[in-house]
Structure formats: structure tokens, C-alpha cells
Structure 1
Amino acid sequence: MGTLLLLIALTFEIAFAIYCMVTKQNHKKIKNWMRIAVFCAFIILTLSSVIVWSLRWVLPAILLLILAVTGTVSLIRNKTNTKQYKTSKLVWKSIIMLLAFVFALVPAIVFPQHPSPKVTGEYEVSTATYTYVDKNRKEEFTDNGDNRFVNVEFWYPKNADEKYPLLVFSHGAYGIKASNTSTYTELASHGYIVVSIDHPYHSFYTRSEDGTNVLINTDYNREVDNLNKEGIYTRAEEYGLIQKWMKLRTDDMNFVIDTILQKAKSDKTSVYQHINTEKIGVFGHSMGGASSVWLGRERDDIDAVVNIDAPFFSDLVYKKEIGDYAARDEAFKTPLLNIYSDDVWGQLDSNSTYVANKLNNKNFKDAYTVHFQGAKHLSLTDLPLFSPILANYIQGGSADIDPYYCVETENSLILKFFDDKLKGIGHFTPKKTY
């Protein structure tokens, strides 16, 4: 919609400028009426929900309102246009107006309005956000002595009348807790309570209950960026960074789970009172998926794990004698579903950080593994729907898979897996390739 409106605006401004140059007149009265009409059309499209109002439309609305008001004032004053026509002045005014429309419509182009993926469950979904403060940990990214805090958001069945399994999600390296909102909504609509975690200073940004905003830490950002480049770190240095990141992530996840389990015993808030504390699943994308697999090994109360496009950092061993990675030799006993894009699928046979993910690893012989052919790393999040331009920029190109097919199929697989493992519904038998 943003791109279409920009094309219409550019076409109108260019066509009108050419008309003025051909007739050698300013046609100010016609321009005023047309700008009033355009603003009215914008209002009608918004009221009829063709344009779904959101922050992306604030700048275009302000620009069109200003043009409509100035046009109306000019018509009311009804002054005779005595200004002499000048082509150079007309061209400059047109260029400025074109730039103004481009600037105003950038948010709508970068973050286009889009239909939400299908929600197939019977429950209406509610959300709630909280900030948990860990009194047992100090924040390592600051020197002010504050305790570590974690922001979480719940998606859960509205008007709940029973207890539901708890599912805990962890985002990727630069992600945010809303990265897979369509997945949480689908799961909650089928009777799950989903909580997604913002890992402060690992997430792109996070906002606390008191309004505090925290952006990604620059040192962490640089470390992740350098890890994806050849020759920056030795294997030993890479391994050290991975262990540091995983400790922070798994400490956050353990703290959130323990906090929720405690609140389920004492807090009268509806979302906590409807959690079945005997049924817990964890899942995550990229680094969050690695953290989820780690918790699947670490905690006895985790009943199912979904790993979305992540290495098994929990099963990665650095062997000094060979100066390279090897896979841990211990069976993984928690039910596990791996979902891979092309970006990761092509690395599963290498001796990289994915060495433990090899399909012939006998310690994961009972795990389910599916491959989304044509998908890229971010195809397994909602970002390609929310901002195709941003997703393509971050992952270095567009994916060869329909984003709605990819996300909706992924959501369906995750739902069926958790239904089987946590609720005993159905028999999970996925295809190998989608």
C-alpha cells in the first residue's frame, strides 16, 4: 500500500508539473482543490479499513493534512494569483514535494501493512507484559550495580477456564520477544500459555514496565558480527564467546521459568493461575533455539523442545588437541523438533558450530528434523511479513519460499509437535521437506 501510494503521489506531482510547464501557468487553484481531495480520499480509505491505521501512516497523514489546510486557506482567501510563472521555481517546488512524499511514506514502505497469518484455534487470545528483576544476579552490561531484569510478554487464552501447558520462547541474536508473534498467537488459540523473553542487551531493543528502553549492546553486536566472519576469532575464542552468550541466555530462561512456577503457586493473576506447571515446552529461533536445546539437557521439567534454525551449542565441545569442535557424546532424551532453513541445512555436514547437528549424530536419533526448502534464516520469523525490505537486507537476499506458506506451515508443525508431546493429542509425523 505504501509503495502504491508513493507511485500515485509521484505520478501526480510529475504529471501536474509537466501540465504547468506546457501551459506556462501555475494552476494554483486546481492544485489546492486536488490536495484537499487527496486528503479526503486518505480519510475515506482509512475509515473503510483499506488503509489500516497505525504509526506507519502518521507522517503521510500529517503531510496531507498540512497540504489540505494550506490549500483550503488559499481558496478561502481567494487571492488572484499575480505571481509570474517561472519554470525553475516550479521544478524546485515539485522536487521538494516529491522528496516530502518519499520521506513521509518511508515507514509505510519499509513496514508495509500486511494480513496476519491464519489463526486456527478456538480461543480468543489476550496478552500481558511484565518485567522480572533477578535479585540474585547483577547486570553485567552496566557498572551501576543494578540487578539483571528480563522483560516478558504472555499470549494466552482469553476467558480461560482450565489449565494449559506453558511454552517459553527465546529470540535470536538481534531479535525481540515479538519476533514470532504469529506462532505464539496460533499456539495460544489452541490452549497454550506462551511467554516470550526479551534478553536485555542481546535483543535489538526492549522496553520495561517503567518505560525504560534498552538497546542492543555494541560489544555483543560486534562479537556476533565477527563470529560470522572468517579469520577474526580462533576456534578457542569462538567457543569462549558461545559459552558466555549461552550462560546469559540460559540464566535468563531459567530465571523466567522459575519465576513463573513460583507465581503459579501464589500470584492470583489470571495468566499464572491457568498454567499447568507439569507441562512445559521451550522453543526459540537461532541463538534462542540453541538456548532451548541447552535447557532441554539442563532441566528435568522440560517436556519438549523446538529448535528453529540453531546449532546445538549445548553439545558443542572444543578439543584443544585438534584445535577444532567436536560433538558431545551423550544422548539427548527430551523430545526435540528441529526446523531448518536452507541457510542452516547447507552447514549440517560441516565441522562448524553445527557439528553436533549432523543428521547422523546418534545422540539425537529420536529427534524430528524438517527442512524448509527455499527458506532463509529469517523466513522462520515474522520479519519477512512485517518488513520484507529489512529481512532481505539483514539476511543478504530474498527467500525462494512464499513467506505465508513458510510461517503458517511452521506454526502448524510446532502446534502439532507440542500437542503430541504435551497434551497427548494426535501422532506427530512430519514430512522431511516442506
Structure 2
Amino acid sequence: MGTLLLLITLICEIAFAIYCVITKQNHKKMKSWMRIVVFIAFVILTLSSVIVWDFRWLMLTIVLFILAVKGTISLIRNKTNNQKYKTSSIMWKTMITILALVFAFTPAIVFPQHQSPKVTGQYQVATATYTYIDKNRIEQFTDKGDNRFVNVEFWYPKNADGTYPLLVFSHGATGIKASNTSTYTELASHGYVVASIDHPYHSLYTVSNDGTKALINTDYKSEISNSNKEGIYTKEEVYGLIQKWMKLRTDDINFVIDTILTKAKSDNNPIYQHIDTEKIGVFGHSMGGAASVWVGKERDDVDAVVNIDAPFFSELVYNSEIDDFVARDEDFTIPLLNIYSDDVWQQLESNSTYVANKLNNEHFKDAYTTHLKGAKHLSLTDLPLFSPILANILQGGRADIDQYYCIEKTNELILEFFDNKLKDKGHFTPKETY
């Protein structure tokens, strides 16, 4: 929508400038009426919901309003033909207007208006956000001595009766808790309480209920970036970083689960009272997927795990004799679903970080593994819908798979897996490749 409107607007501006040059007149009266009509048209499109009003249209609204006001003032003063015609003046004003419009349209182009993936469940979905303070941990990313806080957003069945399984999600290395909103919504619509965690200073940004903001830590961001480059860290140093990252992630997840279970026993909040504390699943994308597998192995009360495009960090051991990673010699007994993009699928046999993920690993013989052909790493999140440009930049190109098909198939697989493992519904038999 943003790109289309920008093209139409630019064509009109350029065409009008050419008309002025050909006729050698300013046509200020016509220009003033054009500005007013364009603003009125924008308002009508917004009121009719063709344009869905949100942050992406704010700058454009301001620019169009200013131009419309200028046009109105010009008409009222009736100073439409007093200025002497100059081609250079026409060209400069047109260029300035075009630059202002491109700037104003930028949010609508970077974050295009899009349809949400389909929601197929019977329940309407409500959301709520809470900040939990961990009194047993001091925040390591600041020197204030404050306790660590974790922001959690819930998606749950609205105005529903009974109790539902609890699903806890962990975002990727530099993600946010809303990264897979379509997944949470689909699950909640089928009778799940989904809690997605922001890991402060690991997430791109997070805001607590009291307004406290936490941006991604620069040292952590550098560690993530450099760990994927050759020659920056040794394998042993990378292994140490993995342990540090996973310690924070798993501590956050364990803290959130324990807090929710405690509140389910004593808090009258309907969200907590809707939770079946005997049915718990954990899932996550990228580093969040690795942390979910780790938590699933550690906790006795986790009944199912979904790993979205992540290595099994919990199963890696650094072997100093070969200076590389080897897989831990232990069985993983919790029901597990792995969903891989091309980015990970192509590394399973070649990258030692994924040595435990290999399809022939007998310690994961009961795990389900599927591959979405043509998908890239971020295709398994909502980001390519929310901002295709950012997704393509971050993941090094455009995915070959249709994004709606990809995320909806991902959501479908996760729902069917949790339905089977937490609700004893149906038979879960995914194909190896979709």
C-alpha cells in the first residue's frame, strides 16, 4: 500500500511540474486545490479502513496536513498568480516536495500494511503484559545493583471456561517477545495460554510496566556477531559464550515458569486461573529454541518442546583434543519437534555447532524433524510480514518460500504437535519436507 501510494504521488508531482514547465505558468491555484484534495482523499481512505491507521502513517499525515494548510491559506489570500514564473523555482520546489514525501512514506514502505496470518481456533484471543522481578538475581548488565526483571506477554482464550496448557516462548538472539505473534494467537485460539518472554539486554528492546526501558547490550550484540565470523573467537571461547548466554536464558525461562505456577495457586487473576499446571510446553526461535531444548531437558514438569531453527546447545561438549564440538552422550526423552529453514537444514552435516542436531543422532531418535524448503532463518517468525526489507537485510536475502504459507505451516505444525502431546489429540506425523 505504501509503495503504491508513493508511486502515484510521485507521478502526480512530476506530471504537474512538467505541465507547469510546458505552459510556463506556476498554476498555484491548481496546486493548492491538489494539496487539499490529496489530504481529503487520504482521510477518506483512512476512515474507510483502506488505510489502517497506525504509526506507519503518522509522518505522511503531518506532511499532507501541512501542504493542505498551505494550500488553503494560499486560496484564502487569493495570491495565486502573483509570482513570476521561473523554471528553476518549479524544479526546486518539486524536488523538495518529493524528498519530503519519500521521507514521510518511509515507515509505510519499511513496515508495510499487511494481512495477519489466519487464525483458525474457536476462541477469541486476549492479551496482557506483566513485569516479573526476580529477587534472587542481580542484573548483570548494569551496575545499579537492581534485581533482574523479565517482561512477559500473555495470549490466552478470552471469556473462556476451564483450564488450558501453558506454553512459554523464548525469542531469538536479538529478537523481541512479539516476534511470533501469529503463532501465539493461533495457539491461544485453540485453547492454550501462551507466555512470551522478553529477555532484557538480549532482546532488541523491552519496556516494563513502570516504563523502564532496556535496549540490547552492545557487548552481547558484538559477541553474537563475532561468534559467527572466522578468526575472532576460538572454539573454546565460543563454547564459553554459549554457556553464558544459555545460563541467562534458561534462568529467565525457569523463573517465569516458576512464577506463573506460583501465581496459578494463589493469584485470582483469570489468566493464571485458566492455566493447567500439569501441562507445560516450551518453545522458541533460534537462541530461544536452543534455550527451550535446554529447559526441557532440565525440568521434570515440561511435557513437550518445539525447537525452531536452533542448535542443541545443551547437547554440545567442547573436546580440546580435536578443538571442536561433539554431541553429548545422553538421551533426550521429552517429546521434541524441530522445524528447520534452509539456513539450518544445510548446516546439519557441515557445521559442528549442529553436531547434536544431526538426523542420525540416536539420542534424539524419537524427535520429529521437518524442513520448510525455501525458507530462511527469519521466515519462521513474523518479521518478513511486518518488515520484508529488514528481514531481507538481516537474513542476507529474500526467501524463496511464500511467507504466508511458511508461517501458517509453522503455526499449524506447532499446534498439531502440542495438541498431540499436551491434549492427546490426533496423530502427529509431519512430512520431512514441506
> Normalising to structure 1: TM-score of the pair?
0.99
> Counterpart of 1:192?
192
Distance in 1, matches of 2:176 and 2:349, equals 30
Distance in 2, matches of 1:286 and 1:220, equals 16
Per the TM alignment, residue 76 of structure 1 is displaced from its structure 2 partner at its CA by: 1.4
> Counterpart of 2:88?
88
> Counterpart of 2:66?
66
Q: Which residues of 2 match residues 125-274 of structure 1 at below 5 A?
A: 125-274=125-274
> Counterpart of 2:285?
285
Distance in 2, matches of 1:23 and 1:281, equals 71
Distance in 1, matches of 2:139 and 2:289, equals 23
> Counterpart of 1:345?
345
Return the letter of the residue paired with 2:94: S
3-state secondary structure, aligned to 2:353:
coil
Residues 103-131 of structure 1 show CA distances to partners (whole Å, capped at 9, x for unaligned) of 00000000001000000000000000000
Per the TM alignment, residue 81 of structure 1 is displaced from its structure 2 partner at its CA by: 2.1
Distance in 2, matches of 1:374 and 1:28, equals 53
Per the TM alignment, residue 83 of structure 1 is displaced from its structure 2 partner at its CA by: 1.0
Distance in 2, matches of 1:313 and 1:23, equals 70
Say if 2:394 is the partner of 1:385: no
Distance in 2, matches of 1:429 and 1:165, equals 21
Residues 195-222 of structure 1 show CA distances to partners (whole Å, capped at 9, x for unaligned) of 0000000000001001111110000000
Per the TM alignment, residue 351 of structure 1 is displaced from its structure 2 partner at its CA by: 4.3
Return the letter of the residue paired with 2:228: N
> Counterpart of 2:17?
17
Q: Percent identity?
A: 77
Which consecutive segments of 4 or more residues in structure 1 shift more than 3 A? none
> Counterpart of 1:50?
50
> Counterpart of 2:39?
39
* Stretches of structure 2 lacking an aligned partner (at least 5 in a row): none
Residues 205-246 of structure 1 show CA distances to partners (whole Å, capped at 9, x for unaligned) of 001001111110000000000011111110000000000000
> Counterpart of 1:295?
295
3-state secondary structure, aligned to 1:354:
helix
Say if 1:325 and 1:351, in contact at 8 Å, map to a contact too.
no
Return the letter of the residue paired with 1:6: L
Say if 1:293 and 1:305, in contact at 8 Å, map to a contact too.
yes
Seen in structure 2, the aligned counterparts of structure 1 residues 217 and 80 have a Cα distance that, compared at 3 Å, is closer
Distance in 1, matches of 2:253 and 2:177, equals 13
Per the TM alignment, residue 350 of structure 1 is displaced from its structure 2 partner at its CA by: 2.1
Distance in 2, matches of 1:128 and 1:281, equals 19
3-state secondary structure, aligned to 1:334:
coil
3-state secondary structure, aligned to 2:108:
helix
Distance in 2, matches of 1:363 and 1:211, equals 45
> Normalising to structure 2: TM-score of the pair?
0.99
Per the TM alignment, residue 320 of structure 1 is displaced from its structure 2 partner at its CA by: 1.2
**Aligned CA-pair RMSD:** 0.6
3-state secondary structure, aligned to 1:325:
strand
Per the TM alignment, residue 316 of structure 1 is displaced from its structure 2 partner at its CA by: 0.4
Return the letter of the residue paired with 2:394: I
Seen in structure 2, the aligned counterparts of structure 1 residues 81 and 137 have a Cα distance that, compared at 3 Å, is same
Say if 2:152 and 2:196, in contact at 8 Å, map to a contact too.
yes
Say if 1:127 and 1:153, in contact at 8 Å, map to a contact too.
yes
Distance in 2, matches of 1:274 and 1:151, equals 20
> Counterpart of 1:416?
416
Return the letter of the residue paired with 1:271: I
* Stretches of structure 1 lacking an aligned partner (at least 5 in a row): none
Return the letter of the residue paired with 2:176: I
Say if 2:326 and 2:352, in contact at 8 Å, map to a contact too.
no
Say if 2:28 and 2:80, in contact at 8 Å, map to a contact too.
no
Distance in 2, matches of 1:352 and 1:203, equals 26
Distance in 2, matches of 1:218 and 1:211, equals 21
Per the TM alignment, residue 321 of structure 1 is displaced from its structure 2 partner at its CA by: 1.7
Return the letter of the residue paired with 2:208: S
Distance in 2, matches of 1:9 and 1:129, equals 40
Distance in 2, matches of 1:356 and 1:222, equals 26
Distance in 1, matches of 2:345 and 2:173, equals 19
Distance in 1, matches of 2:98 and 2:345, equals 45
Distance in 2, matches of 1:431 and 1:80, equals 69
Distance in 1, matches of 2:393 and 2:348, equals 24
Distance in 1, matches of 2:79 and 2:219, equals 61
Distance in 1, matches of 2:127 and 2:101, equals 36
